[in-house]
Amino acid sequence: MAKMVDIGTKPDVRRRAVATGLIHLKPTTIRAIRARHVEKGDPLPTAEVAALQAIKAVWQVLPHTHPIPITAASVTFNVRSDRIVVRTCVEATYKTGVEMEALYGVAVALLTIWDMVKALEKDSKGQYPGARIEGMRVVTKEKETKAAER
């Protein structure tokens, strides 16, 4: 039987998680992004807003997660010649960690970028031979100890 874990007796602790992932794109797509010549608009600020919204909404889409009072969140992009690396950082002082929030923010940012540039990535058959999302992972997870709170 599926259920949410009872965290009611756990103390509030400062927590931080950093996640990353990347999307491979054609060099011509990267140049279009840099020149702001993407028909749907600028993918990076759009992906940033989408990721921040996603970070706050994890509890609504992943059934076993708790609503977490996020105290800080950021999204950064490293645009390279053939890929964009997305990094999220999420912080909260609460009873459970924020790894899923960080990962979900990365996923939504990457999907947003793909959606916005898909017209540039399609081949003559309408396929995406080079575009791919990979490497999503938690880079760091931090949790203050109880002694640090005293």
Radius of gyration in angstroms for the set of CA atoms belonging to the chain, rounded to a whole number: 18
Amino acid at 8: G
- Rounded Cα distance between 67 and 81, Å, is 38
| Segment 19-35, tens digit of pLDDT | 999 999 999 999 999 99
| Segment 120-149, tens digit of pLDDT | 999 999 999 999 999 999 999 999 986 544
Contact 20, 139 (CB under 8 A): yes
70 burial (CB, 10 Å; 0-12 / 13-18 / 19+) is middle
| Segment 54-89, tens digit of pLDDT | 999 999 999 999 999 999 999 999 999 999 999 999
Query: What are the backbone angles phi and psi of residue 18, rounded to the nearest 5°?
Result: -120, 135
- Looking at the domain 13-144, which fold is it? Alpha-Beta Plaits (3.30.70)
How much is the pLDDT for 1? Answer: 83
By annotation, the residues acting in catalysis are 115
How much is the pLDDT for 65? Answer: 94
